[in-house]
Amino acid sequence: MLTAAALGSLYYAGMTLYDKTKTMSAGTARLSSLDKTLVGVYLDLIRSSDLRRPVNNDPTPKTFIVRPGDTVVQISQNLVAQGLVRDADLFRLYVRYSALDQNIQTGTFQLRANMDIPQLARSLQRGLAQETQITIPEGKRIEEIAELLKDQLGSNYSPDEFLRLARRANFSYAFLKDLPDGASLEGFLFPDTYRLPENPSAQDVILRMLDNYGGKIAPIIEQGKPKNLTVRQVLTLASIVEREAVVAAERPTIASVYFNRMKIGMALQADPTTQYALGYDPKQKTWWRVLTLDDLKYADPAGYNTYVNPDLPPGPIANPGLASIQAVLQPAQTRFLFFVASCNKDGTHKFAATFEEQRRNLCP
């Protein structure tokens, strides 16, 4: 009876302090010595199993961001919202008791639902967040990304595993649910600089890139895409613009050329689609070979060569950056149907509304 009464009193004291911490934020009054003793016993005897019980066994990393000015209250609520913690108040009480609340740093962290509260609290201390950085440029196809990652991440990283995962869009994201069977992640692996856990797996990398696409790009496309195009078709056009454009200012104009061609049923005849269809050239040691006239006649069974296939390719040919996506969402208003590289070889193009103008723009 005495033990039960003692535990009951302890539970009441713990809950009183539990409520008290709800009004505290980092930098306010700390727990008294007596309060801290009671909290320690409360956490050890009453809530130990809750502290050590993860939300679930899912090992998938989730990106968690602590922004400047975030309080422990906001951080604990965000942890609950992202499915990383069950009880925001318990997390807050633990970090108060452990004196970890003032050491939580701003930044991006990779957390998992199979981490318990002490593990999560420690992971949010910058000194314990071991990270590595990767950079993926715009306009790379998934095979190139796999090789870039190998160069940046070293021998512990598996490009074959990356390609196995990237060639099948079998991930639970809303923006992937309408893809056709067998579709790859081409176009959805958003080019950017990423901070990842030290020695990330191929899945860690892909999930981080898809999270980034979902946060930065998916809303923009959903709000701005033309009604006659799907999300994947927007990315397909953007990937062609990405491969064609050298000068950033020309992207909306290049996009307008392809829209104008589609309006009149004219084949896109985009060189990068033929390069994508032909794949890696071991002689030139590139995925984007210099094309010959015979190359343009390649009867690609997958339908990517737009010199043979008059329609849009079935999917993106690379992973476009934000500027090329925005160019497709807001193309320039022109009558241009043609463009060709200018003769001064500075990356700019000459544009034409008629074939006769195009002929005059060709270099001698």
Q: Range with the lowest mean pLDDT among 94-108, 183-197, 322-336?
A: 94-108
Q: Which amino acid is at 283?
A: K
- 3-class DSSP assignment, residue 1: coil
* DSSP-H helix ranges across the chain: 2-20, 33-41, 48-51, 72-81, 88-97, 117-123, 142-153, 159-166, 202-216, 218-224, 231-244, 251-263, 271-278, 293-296, 322-329, 355-361
Domain boundaries, the chain: 2-60+67-127, 132-216, 229-361
Which residue in 210, 248, 267 sits closest to 325, CA to CA? 248
pLDDT digits (tens, 9 = 90+) for 267-296: 999 999 999 999 999 999 999 999 999 999
Stated pTM of the model: 0.68
Q: Which residue has the tokens 């535990």?
A: 7
- Look up residue 350 and give its two tokens: 């000459």
pLDDT confidence band for 25 (50 / 70 / 90): very low
Measured at the CA of 276, the angle between CA 352 and CA 219, to 5 degrees, comes to 80
pLDDT confidence band for 127 (50 / 70 / 90): very low
For the chain, give the number of residues: 364
